[in-house]
């Protein structure tokens, strides 16, 4: 007579298999993202949110050294731009935060802890801070003065055939532009489509312009190719367009490209001139 009950020997085998699977899963979760000889592009741990502090040394490593290396190089570039451009004039990427607090930029995998919205499972609310992000995009949260970016879109950028450090840096620069909008010199707050802007797209137009000013700075520093950066940077925003993630807060693709080129050609002062009542930098000339 056959039996459906597992024998002690079979039960031990099942337990051993489950333990082995658990070890593999924990190892993946605890991964530090260190680049290997053939790294996984999405090499951040698969849960939680993770620091992207920025590192100049990351920029000296070859492309393909792993996603954390690429992201740290891009963040270092943006931080260098803001520190040198703004100086003591008002923009701090951790303004008001205590010493030793988490870095301004955070990587967020799709399995990040948080309350998933049933209407859009890509949207996550972190109950501890009140921050919101979309795991398929980059978002600035003014509550914690932090930029969150999904590891999935970062992985796509890493492998799409272009210069991933450049494209990631553009996205980080755009979100840093939102941080500038949250500073006292720009009205002290940032909310999507609100806060006294002349149109619903102005809150996004200014950061597109900001990313252009950053790109020109990077060309002058020798980070980006002077013959292609203006064109390629404009294409990044043209391709993303006004319906990025189905949201209409961004301008039309031709306008996003135009505002990027405005910042590239004329600098941050031109981004201020778009709406002087809410400058993106604490000077207007």
Task: Please write the tens of the pLDDT for every residue from 96-153.
Answer: 444 444 568 888 876 655 555 544 556 666 655 567 667 778 888 877 778 888 887 8
> Does a structural domain hold residue 43?
no
Using the 8-state DSSP alphabet, how is residue 163 labeled? -
> Does a structural domain hold residue 6?
no
> Does a structural domain hold residue 45?
no
> Does a structural domain hold residue 130?
yes
Work out how many domains the chain is built from and give that number: 1
Residues of the chain with pLDDT under 50: 1-4, 18, 20-41, 95-101, 118-119, 192-193, 285
Q: Does the predicted TM-score (pTM) go above 0.85?
A: no
> Does a structural domain hold residue 61?
yes
> Does a structural domain hold residue 23?
no
H helix intervals, the chain: 8-29, 67-86, 151-158, 164-181, 202-221, 229-240, 253-266, 268-273
Residue range of the domain that includes 192:
50-273
> Does a structural domain hold residue 20?
no
> Does a structural domain hold residue 218?
yes
Task: Compute the Cα dihedral for 249, 253, 258, 264 and give only its sign.
Answer: positive
């Amino acid at each position: 007579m056959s039996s459906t009950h597992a024998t002690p020997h079979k039960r031990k085998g099942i337990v051993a298999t489950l333990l082995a699977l658990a070890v593999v899963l924990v190892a993946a979760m605890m991964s530090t993202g260190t680049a290997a000889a053939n790294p996984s592009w999405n090499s951040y741990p698969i849960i939680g949110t993770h620091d992207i502090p920025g590192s100049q040394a990351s920029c000296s490593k070859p492309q393909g050294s792993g996603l954390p290396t690429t992201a740290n190089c891009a963040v270092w570039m943006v931080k260098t731009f803001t520190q040198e451009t703004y100086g003591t004039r008002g923009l701090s990427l951790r303004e008001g935060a205590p010493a030793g607090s988490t870095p301004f930029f955070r990587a967020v995998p799709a399995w990040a802890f948080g309350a998933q919205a049933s209407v859009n499972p890509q949207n996550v609310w972190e109950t501890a801070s009140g921050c919101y992000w979309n795991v398929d995009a980059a978002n600035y949260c003014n509550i914690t003065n932090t930029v969150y970016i999904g590891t999935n879109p970062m992985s796509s950028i890493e492998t799409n055939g272009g210069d991933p450090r450049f494209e990631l840096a553009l996205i980080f620069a755009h979100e840093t532009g939102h941080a500038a909008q949250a500073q006292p010199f720009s009205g002290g707050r940032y909310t999507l489509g609100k806060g006294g802007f002349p149109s619903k797209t102005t809150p996004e137009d200014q950061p597109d312009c900001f990313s252009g000013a950053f790109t020109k700075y990077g060309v002058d520093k020798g980070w980006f190719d002077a013959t292609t950066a203006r064109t390629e940077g404009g294409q990044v925003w043209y391709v993303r367009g006004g319906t990025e993630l189905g949201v209409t807060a961004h301008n039309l693709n031709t306008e996003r490209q135009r505002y990027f080129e405005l910042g590239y050609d004329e600098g941050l002062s031109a981004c201020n001139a778009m709406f002087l009542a809410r400058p993106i930098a604490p000077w207007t000339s």
